[in-house]
């Protein structure tokens, strides 16, 4: 391990996932949003899984923010969550509407952006508007990262949002403009430099996940081959935004989210095998992972 990197201790984890006060309520643990979806990648089950993951990770309420055209397809999969439809275009991709975006993000403690979002004409406008006008933790993943990679990253220096980006290597290549082979040679150094330069928390996915803001860096060595399946990244983003409903964003909290998702994945692999497990199996095992953490 890099001598300048940290690993989460049992004490850290038990404090982050400690038992709750008896007189708390859903508002105590925060309203969070998940903004994404389009007809091309309806991802109804994906978005439902993400919102379920956020609830399993401990937030109080999840608001699923989607184009109006896919509302009917996702509604049957949502039980405990709420839906906030946004005006869409002829391709049923989300359109920029200032008033609707303002209403969708109202009173949220955090938002995850980009899952199943596709390549909408207004994606850049929507993300720019959020980064320019809001003061909210933003977990940017999937098509949100692809959108961000089309933008001038100077916007990250000016935003009042606390931005968390969660790329895998190919997404990080697009975002940083650094070839994958170069990243593989010095992943920790390059991750630190990027996070420090752009004032973000970077979670670089891998067999050892790197979580850094350029000053503090954690290495997370949880996870398993069974998590190499569609939707595992969405589960991680769901965990992160769920935890940000009741924790302030910092490197340790994001690292703990990665740890929790990885441990839950390991439990899922034990039950379903590395070949047969699905991303939703990781969600199923989040309560077991939290129990394990509390007992460490």
206 pLDDT higher than 70? yes
Helix (H, G, I), strand (E, B) or coil at 61: strand
pLDDT tens, residue by residue, 32-80:
999 998 877 655 556 677 889 999 999 999 999 999 998 988 888 887 8
Cα distance between residue 36 and residue 53, in whole Å: 15
Averaged pLDDT, 97-122: 96
Q: Which residues contact 124 (CB under 8 A, 6 or more apart)?
A: 147, 150, 151
* Closest CA relative to residue 163, chosen from 118, 123, 116, 214: 214
pTM of the model: 0.96
pLDDT at residue 41 in the model: 64
Listed in sequence order, the DSSP H helices in 134-231 are 143-148, 155-158, 169-176, 180-185, 187-198
pLDDT at residue 49 in the model: 76
Domains and CATH numbers, the chain: 26-295 (3.40.1190.20)
* Count of helices and strands (H, E) across the chain: 14, 9
pLDDT tens, residue by residue, 159-198:
999 999 999 999 999 999 999 999 999 999 999 999 999 9
20 pLDDT higher than 60? yes
1 pLDDT higher than 60? no
* pLDDT category of residue 3 using cuts at 50, 70 and 90: low
- Say if CB 157 and CB 174 are below 8 A apart: no
């Amino acid at each position: 391990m890099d001598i300048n990197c940290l690993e989460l201790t049992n004490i850290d984890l038990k404090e982050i996932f400690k038992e709750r006060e008896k007189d708390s309520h859903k508002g105590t643990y925060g309203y969070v949003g998940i903004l994404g979806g389009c007809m091309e990648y309806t991802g109804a089950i994906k978005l439902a899984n993400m919102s379920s993951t956020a609830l399993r990770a401990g937030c109080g309420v999840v608001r699923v923010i989607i184009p109006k055209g896919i509302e009917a397809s996702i509604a049957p999969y949502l039980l405990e969550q709420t839906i906030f439809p946004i005006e869409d275009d002829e391709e049923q991709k989300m359109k920029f509407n200032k008033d609707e975006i303002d209403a969708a993000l109202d009173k949220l403690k955090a938002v995850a952006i980009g899952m199943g979002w596709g390549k909408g004409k207004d994606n850049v406008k929507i993300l720019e508007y959020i980064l320019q006008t809001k003061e909210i933790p933003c977990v940017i993943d999937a098509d949100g990262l692809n959108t961000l990679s089309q933008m001038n990253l100077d916007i990250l220096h000016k935003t009042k949002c606390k931005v968390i980006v969660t790329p895998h290597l190919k997404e990080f290549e697009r975002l940083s403009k650094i070839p994958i082979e170069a990243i593989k040679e010095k992943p920790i150094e390059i991750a630190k430099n990027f996070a420090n330069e752009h004032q973000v928390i970077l979670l670089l996915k891998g067999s050892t996940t790197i979580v850094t803001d350029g000053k503090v860096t954690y290495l997370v060595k949880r996870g398993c081959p069974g998590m190499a399946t569609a939707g595992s990244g969405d589960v991680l983003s769901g965990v992160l935004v769920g935890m940000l409903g009741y924790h302030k964003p910092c490197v340790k909290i994001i690292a703990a989210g990665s740890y929790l998702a990885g441990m839950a994945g390991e439990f899922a692999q034990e039950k379903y095998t590395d070949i047969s497990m699905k991303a939703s199996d990781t969600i199923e095992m989040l309560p077991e992972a939290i129990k394990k953490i509390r007992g460490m």
